[in-house]
């Protein structure tokens, strides 16, 4: 930029010096010299001087600046000869090609999108310098500070140039050591778990948190503050957080200086309100802490939200809850009084939804708890944002409001969503003791046609089971919060090992489901199925042979579920209960009534006893009972015990069986239970290794046609105990279970070792 700036100053003086001020003279012709590619009219459009004007140094200077600002010209000069104004320009060259050399960590396409210059664009020294900075910034963001970038220009004919960025990446700079000063209550290793930046270590080759990133440093300060506030240290402050670069620019040393202050307890908790018809004491139940508990900022924040919701629910449209804090330094207590007042009276004028390029407007709008014209209520707005987020169609959901120009007490709610890809193609390979090697291909679109509908299709082949599933769900059937769905499935199962026969099932199911509230859900289902028992081995049990091979099932059933778990995918806290009843007999060849109950309880014992947080207790229980209505229950509808529901036993290993052929026959009722403790292995979390100890329990009843003489079957409890490990490898989760049967019948079939690994990518 220096070169062209110099040119500009010289031109201005020359222009100025040549024409003595005051020599008026009109310009009758403007001559443009030196244009090659750019047509003269373009130069004229940027100039403020026109033919026929009086010569005015200010205007000429203005035109000079305009022409420079276009960035199209390396040099511009103007001479006033007699009546003619001569504008001579030197065009900036055009870039023919851009190349990058020496860039290993960041690939060419990425660098190209980062820089401004493109082939066929005008080359200016200023833009090249800017692009050098952009490349350096890109490298810094991925943690490499020892990078140097040298732009090289190769001149070509017709005023064109080739541009090459020679990049020398140098070694990557990582965080070698994180140390804390002034921390007495929590030691350095505990605080290292709190901050996100981590020290460089051999097993962190995949993660990028061991590089220095200024934004992450400020985020770490926030994490530290939140951690201390959560545990009652109201006076906590991060005095300083500095990262020094080593002389060889290969490592950062980070030091956090903190002052913890004292640990506070809650003082008396008060509730006051100016709302006439509201009795504040009635709301005390909502507050989760009381006088004397350890102080925690999170609990105060949660209480404010709960109070706002509660008061909102009682019909007060405009509510504003503010916690008033009085700190008593020597008694180290913090007294809190929640002040509940009437908030500003505001109404929603409009709700505008933006960014839904694929999703229909109504799919988002129907999740809003507010509609236009309603009283503005921030608690409902927050819950609406959460419900839209839970749809799972959006990367980012922002709901905020701005005052409306039409009236002071009106506000416009803006819902800005950024969609994410909701289509998934999954391909899985695995092996499990029950079905052998397995290959799975799946296609799913969770936001079909932007209507929020869910379409799944999956095919899986395994040595002993192949299955095709297609299922479609409409979340808002008949414009109500009613989940309606239809499933089609075909299963071929090889049970020769367990019961020496194969069976084929072709079926379809219609589903209707709705939620009474956040936790209580109810689903009705009608199933129509054709089952066929095929190629029964010649030496199979006679009880299997006399089962009728072709059966038609027409069954209606329902499942009531009460789910209070913290997460459905990886629950650590809470419980879930479910009860289901099925009746087969609306036509079809099978007549039976079946009831199933399941319960699971998850307890984060690690947090309760302040041990390592990975300690977790899971207690599960289940019972199923069915009986034929005037007809025996067909074999492949019966319950089986052993394998996944009773570790330590083979598939259907504990089920009643034919005495001499050993084929499993199943039973009419079953009850199972399991206690599992997640055990920390003391290894770093990044390795993805988790261990568990478990003990399973089970009992199974007899089939209808039980015959003491010809069958082995005992209604007696089976018990097993064992340990297992799961490794979430880059290829997929691999889990191994070793289960030892402690209490079993002599004819039961056991299986100590169970392995399963499956990867979906």
Partner 1 sequence: CSNDINPHGNLPTTEALGQIQEGVHTRTDIQALLGTPSATSMFGGETWFYISNETTQVAFFKPKELERTIIAVHFDDNGRVKGIDHLSKDDGQQVDIVGRETPTRGNDSSIVQELFGNIGRFAPKTVD
Partner 2 sequence: CSSKKDEPEYVERPVEELYNEAVDLLNTSSYALAAKAFDEVERQHPYSSWATKAQIMSAYALYENEAYDDAVVAINRFIELHPGNRDIAYAYYLRGLCYYEQISDVRRDQQITRQAMSNLRDVVTRFPDSPYARDARLKIDLARDHIAGKEMSVGRFYLKRQDFLAALNRFRVVVEQYDQTTHVPEALYRMVEINTLLGLPDEAKRVAAVLGHNFPGSDWYGDAYRLITGEKVPSATEGAEPPPSSSWTDSLTGWL
Question: Residues interacting with partner 2, by CB under 8 A?
Answer: 36-39, 41-42, 44-45, 72, 94, 96-97, 99, 101, 119-121, 152, 154, 158-160, 162, 164, 349, 353-362, 365-366, 371-373, 450, 478-479
158 binds, among partner 2, partner 1, none (CB under 5 to 8 A by kind): partner 2
748 binds, among partner 2, partner 1, none (CB under 5 to 8 A by kind): none
Residue number with CB closer to partner 1 (399 or 635): 399
Taking the CA atoms of 684, 686, 688 and 690 in sequence, report the sign of the dihedral they define.
positive
Contact predicate 324/337, CB 8 Å? yes
355 binds, among partner 1, partner 2, none (CB under 5 to 8 A by kind): partner 2
CB of 512 to partner 1, least distance (A): 8
159 binds, among partner 2, partner 1, none (CB under 5 to 8 A by kind): partner 2
Residue number with CB closer to partner 2 (52 or 373): 373
Q: Which two tokens stand for residue 494?
A: 């090889």
What SS3 class is residue 753?
strand
CB of 208 to partner 1, least distance (A): 8
- How many Å apart are CA 426 and CA 207, to the nearest integer? 24
What DSSP element (H or E) covers 64?
helix 57-69
Cα Rg for the chain, rounded, in angstroms? 37
Q: Single out the residue of 702, 696, 739, 738 nearest to residue 718, CA to CA.
A: 696
Q: Single out the residue of 483, 500, 502 nearest to residue 492, CA to CA.
A: 502
CB of 515 to partner 1, least distance (A): 8
Contact predicate 310/285, CB 8 Å? no
354 binds, among partner 2, partner 1, none (CB under 5 to 8 A by kind): partner 2
CB of 345 to partner 1, least distance (A): 6
CB of 445 to partner 2, least distance (A): 17
Extended strands (E) in 21-93: 29-33, 73-81, 84-91
CB of 477 to partner 1, least distance (A): 8
CB of 100 to partner 1, least distance (A): 16
Q: How far is CA 95 from CA 35, 113, 121, 128, in A?
A: 17, 16, 6, 11
360 binds, among partner 2, partner 1, none (CB under 5 to 8 A by kind): partner 2
Residue number with CB closer to partner 1 (317 or 623): 317
CB of 405 to partner 1, least distance (A): 12
CB of 77 to partner 2, least distance (A): 21
Q: Which two tokens stand for residue 504?
A: 């084929």
DSSP letter for 684, please.
-
Residue number with CB closer to partner 2 (249 or 366): 366
- How many Å apart are CA 649 and CA 246, to the nearest integer? 59
160 binds, among partner 1, partner 2, none (CB under 5 to 8 A by kind): partner 2
409 binds, among partner 2, partner 1, none (CB under 5 to 8 A by kind): partner 1
What SS3 class is residue 220?
helix
Residue number with CB closer to partner 2 (154 or 687): 154
Q: How far is CA 541 from CA 337, 497, 662, 709, in A?
A: 75, 13, 8, 13
Residue number with CB closer to partner 2 (162 or 169): 162
Q: Give the number of C-alpha atoms closer than 13 A to the C-alpha of residue 613, restricted to the C-beta side.
A: 6
* CA trace torsion 121, 124, 130, 135 (10° rounding): 60
Q: Which residues contact 755 (CB under 8 A, 6 or more apart)?
A: 431, 432, 433, 734, 735, 736, 737
Contact predicate 690/644, CB 8 Å? no
Residue number with CB closer to partner 1 (144 or 638): 144
424 binds, among partner 2, partner 1, none (CB under 5 to 8 A by kind): partner 1
Contact predicate 562/544, CB 8 Å? no
Interface residues with partner 1 (CB under 8 A) are 105-106, 110, 141-142, 313, 315, 317, 345, 347, 358, 369, 371, 373-375, 395, 406-410, 419-425, 445, 447-450, 455, 480-482, 514-517, 520, 522
């Amino acid at each position: 930029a220096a070169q062209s700036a110099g040119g500009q100053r010289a031109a201005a003086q020359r222009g100025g010096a040549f024409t003595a001020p005051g020599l008026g003279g009109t310009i009758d012709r403007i001559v443009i010299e030196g244009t090659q590619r750019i047509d003269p009219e373009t130069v004229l459009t940027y100039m403020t001087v026109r033919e026929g004007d009086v010569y005015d140094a200010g205007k000429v200077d203005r035109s000079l600046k305009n022409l420079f600002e276009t960035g199209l010209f390396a040099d511009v000069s103007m001479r006033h000869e007699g009546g003619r104004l001569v504008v001579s320009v030197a065009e900036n060259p055009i870039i023919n090609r851009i190349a990058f050399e020496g860039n290993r960590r960041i690939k060419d396409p990425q660098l190209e999108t980062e820089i401004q210059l493109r082939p066929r664009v005008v080359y200016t020294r200023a833009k090249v310098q800017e692009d050098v900075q952009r490349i350096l910034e890109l490298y810094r963001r991925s943690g490499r500070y020892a990078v140097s970038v040298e732009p090289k220009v190769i001149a070509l004919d017709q005023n064109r140039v080739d541009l090459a960025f020679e990049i020398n990446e140098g070694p990557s700079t990582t965080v070698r050591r994180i140390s804390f000063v002034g921390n007495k209550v929590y030691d350095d290793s505990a605080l290292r778990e709190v901050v996100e930046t981590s020290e460089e270590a051999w097993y962190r080759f995949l993660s990028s948190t061991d590089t220095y990133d200024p934004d992450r440093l400020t985020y770490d300060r926030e994490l530290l503050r939140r951690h201390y506030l959560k545990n009652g240290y109201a006076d906590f402050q991060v005095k300083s957080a500095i990262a020094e670069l080593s002389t060889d620019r290969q490592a950062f040393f980070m030091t956090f200086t903190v002052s913890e202050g004292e640990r506070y307890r809650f003082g008396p908790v008060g509730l006051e309100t100016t709302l006439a018809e509201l009795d504040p004491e009635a709301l005390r139940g909502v507050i989760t802490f009381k006088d004397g508990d350890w102080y925690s900022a999170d609990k105060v924040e949660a209480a404010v939200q709960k109070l706002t919701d509660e008061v909102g629910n009682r019909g007060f449209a405009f509510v504003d809850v503010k916690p008033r804090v009085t700190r008593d330094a020597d008694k180290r207590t913090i007294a809190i009084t929640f002040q509940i007042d009437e908030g500003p009276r505001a109404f929603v004028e409009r709700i505008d939804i933006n960014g839904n390029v694929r999703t229909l407007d109504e799919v988002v709008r129907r999740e809003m708890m507010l509609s236009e014209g309603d009283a503005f209520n921030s608690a409902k707005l927050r819950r609406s944002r959460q419900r839209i987020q839970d749809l799972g169609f959006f990367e980012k959901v922002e709901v905020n409001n701005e005052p409306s120009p039409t009236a002071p007490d009106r506000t416009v709610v803006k819902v800005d969503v950024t969609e994410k890809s909701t289509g998934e193609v999954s391909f899985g390979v695995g092996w499990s003791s029950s079905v052998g090697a397995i290959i799975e291909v799946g296609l799913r679109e969770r936001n079909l046609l932007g209507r929020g509908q869910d379409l799944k299709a999956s095919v899986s082949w395994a040595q002993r089971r192949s299955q095709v599933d297609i299922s479609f769900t409409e979340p808002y059937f008949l414009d109500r919060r009613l989940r309606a769905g239809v499933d089609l499935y075909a299963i071929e199962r090889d049970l020769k090992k367990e019961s020496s026969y194969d069976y084929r099932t072709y079926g379809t199911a219609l589903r209707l489901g709705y939620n009474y509230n956040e936790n209580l859900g109810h689903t009705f289902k009608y199933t129509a199925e054709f089952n066929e028992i095929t190629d029964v081995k010649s030496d199979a049990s006679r009880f299997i042979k006399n089962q009728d091979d072709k059966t038609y099932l027409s069954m209606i059933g329902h499942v009531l579920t009460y789910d209070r778990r913290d997460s459905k995918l990886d629950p650590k806290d809470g419980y879930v209960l479910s009860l289901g009843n099925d009746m087969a007999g609306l036509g079809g060849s099978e007549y039976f009534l079946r009831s199933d109950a399941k319960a699971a309880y998850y307890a984060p014992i690690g947090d309760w006893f302040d041990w390592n947080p990975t300690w977790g207790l899971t207690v599960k229980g289940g019972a199923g009972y069915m009986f034929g209505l005037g007809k025996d229950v067909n074999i492949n509808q019966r319950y089986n015990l052993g394998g996944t529901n009773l570790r330590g036993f083979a598939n259907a290993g504990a089920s009643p069986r034919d005495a001499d052929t050993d084929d499993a026959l199943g039973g009419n009722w079953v009850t199972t239970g399991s206690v599992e403790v997640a055990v920390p292995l003391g290894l770093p979390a990044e390795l993805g290794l988790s261990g568990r100890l478990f003990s399973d329990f089970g009992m199974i009843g007899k089939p209808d046609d039980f015959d003491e003489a010809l069958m082995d079957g005992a209604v007696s409890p089976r018990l097993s105990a064992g340990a297992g490990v799961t490794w979430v490898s880059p290829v997929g989760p691999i889990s191994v279970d070793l289960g030892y049967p402690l209490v079993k019948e002599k004819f039961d079939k056991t299986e100590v070792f169970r392995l399963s690994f499956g990867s979906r990518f």
